[in-house]
Amino acid sequence: MFKKIVVFTGAGISAESGLGTFRDVGGLWKKYNIEDVATPEAFNKNPSLVLDFYNQRRKQLLKSKPNVAHLSLAKLQKKFNLVVITQNIDNLHERSGVKNIIHLHGKLTESRSTLDNKIYPINNSELNLGDLCSKGGQLRPNVVWFGEDVPNMNNAIDEVKSASIFIIIGTSLNVYPAANLINYCLKSQRIILIDPNPTRINGVEIFAKKATEFVPKLVDDLLSSNN
Ligand code: NAD
């Protein structure tokens, strides 16, 4: 049976595809307040502003492509049971060919009914006021806003517990509950963190490098190892 590798990614893996991170210099939170665009309260108060913020993110996504870090990870599927757990709302892991992906914070390419949580694809790049679900309710982006539940968290925890290797890429580990995933690793698991500005954690192999610089090498090493 294939060994399981679980990869946990954050905004940093998509930074070199041209999608801004949140907390870096020039990051999105320097340009917007979280409270104004990524909370349920913001959507109630000013839905047009929130929809416009995500419309801009979606347009940027349409112009970007998976980078070599995304593409290398997909190669792990040749030899390992690969699960990618991502905090990202972009679809660059899907477009790089990864089959098993858990989106903790939802997807930019989907909308959700404000009446019954039913999910709909967003066929063009925009979601606007007046775009309604089949029951007549306003559609919102299918993303998890600050203060909302993370429905896929339990699935993600189960995957982490059963992995042989846990690889963390490009996350400041500031957003909870996602950042708690590392606490479900067992002592026997190898844990690797790749981030140019890494959070120091005991027992973790840390590589203070950009994703495109280090992920391809790590993947080659894992594929050529005898495990
Ligand atoms: P964050 O902005 O808090 O942290 C980004 C991390 O990426 C930092 O630690 C930074 O050092 C690192 N980084 C920067 N450039 C890198 C590179 N080239 N290679 C590797 N790492 C690099 O982002 P986060 O921890 O993912 O958490 C914040 C939230 O941001 C998430 O909930 C996510 O939904 C959201 N977000 C998503 C996207 C996206 O979908 N692409 C973009 C921005 C924010």
Q: pLDDT tens digits for 6-43?
A: 999 999 999 999 998 877 767 777 777 888 899 999 99
* Cα-to-centroid distance, 20 and ligand 1 (Å): 8
pLDDT 10s digits, 148-195: 999 999 999 999 999 999 999 999 999 999 999 999 998 889 999 999
pLDDT tens digits for 47-86?
999 999 999 999 999 999 999 999 999 999 999 999 999 9
Do 96 and 11 belong to one domain?
yes
Residues 116 and 136 in one domain: yes
CA pair distance 14, 61, nearest whole angstrom:
10
Residue ranges around ligand 1 (CB below 6 Å) = 10-16, 19-24, 27-28, 87-90, 105, 170-172, 174-175, 195-197, 210-211
Do 115 and 183 have their domain in common?
Answer: no
Which of 159, 143, 139 is CA-nearest to residue 107?
143
Task: Check residue 22 and give its pLDDT.
Answer: 77
Final residue belonging to a domain, choices 89, 116, 143: 143
Q: What is the pLDDT of residue 165?
A: 97
Domain that includes residue 182, residue range: 1-17+66-105+149-227
Specify whether 100 is located in the same domain as 210: yes
Domain CATH code at residue 83 = 3.40.50.1220
- Alpha carbon separation from 79 to 74, 206, 219 (Å, rounded): 10, 23, 11
For the cut 80, the answer to whether the pLDDT of residue 123 exceeds it is: no
Domain match, 97 and 117 both: no
Neighbour count for residue 223 (Cβ, 10 Å): 14
- The residue assigned the tokens 């029951």 is 135
Q: What span, in angstroms and rounded, lies between the C-alpha atoms of 14 and 70?
A: 8
Contacts of 135 (CB under 8 A, 6+ apart): 113, 115, 116
Together in a domain, 163 and 134: no
Claim to verify: residue 225 and residue 185 sit in the same structural domain: yes
Whole-angstrom distance, CA of residue 175 vs CA of residue 156 = 15
Catalytic residues: 105
Same domain for 215 and 170: yes
- Compute the distance from residue 192 Cα to the ligand 1 centre, in Å: 17
State the closest ligand 1 atom to the C-alpha of 197, by its place in the atom list counted from 1: 11
Q: Are residues 219 and 170 in the same domain?
A: yes
The per-residue pLDDT of the chain, averaged, comes to 94
Name 194's bridge partners.
169, 207
**Pocket residue to mutate for ligand 1, from 8, 9, 14, 21, most atoms within 8 A of Cβ:** 21
Report the number of distinct structural domains present in the chain.
2
Residues 84 and 193 occupy one common structural domain: yes
Residues 169 and 203 in one domain: yes
Given a contact cutoff of 8 angstroms between Cβ atoms, the answer to whether 89 and 175 are in contact is no
Q: Quickly tell me which residue has 């757990």 as its tokens.
A: 85
Residues 188 and 216 in one domain: yes
Alpha carbons 65 and 123: distance in angstroms, whole number? 18
pLDDT band at 227 (very low <50, low <70, confident <90, very high): low
CATH number (domain holding residue 124): 3.30.1600.10
Question: Which of 70, 89, 95, 63 minimizes the C-alpha distance to 7?
Answer: 70
pLDDT, position 226: 67
Picking from 143, 168, 190, the residue at the C-terminal end of a domain is 143
Residue with CA nearest ligand 1 atom 11: 197
Write the pLDDT tens digit of every residue in 81-110.
Answer: 999 999 999 999 999 999 999 999 999 999
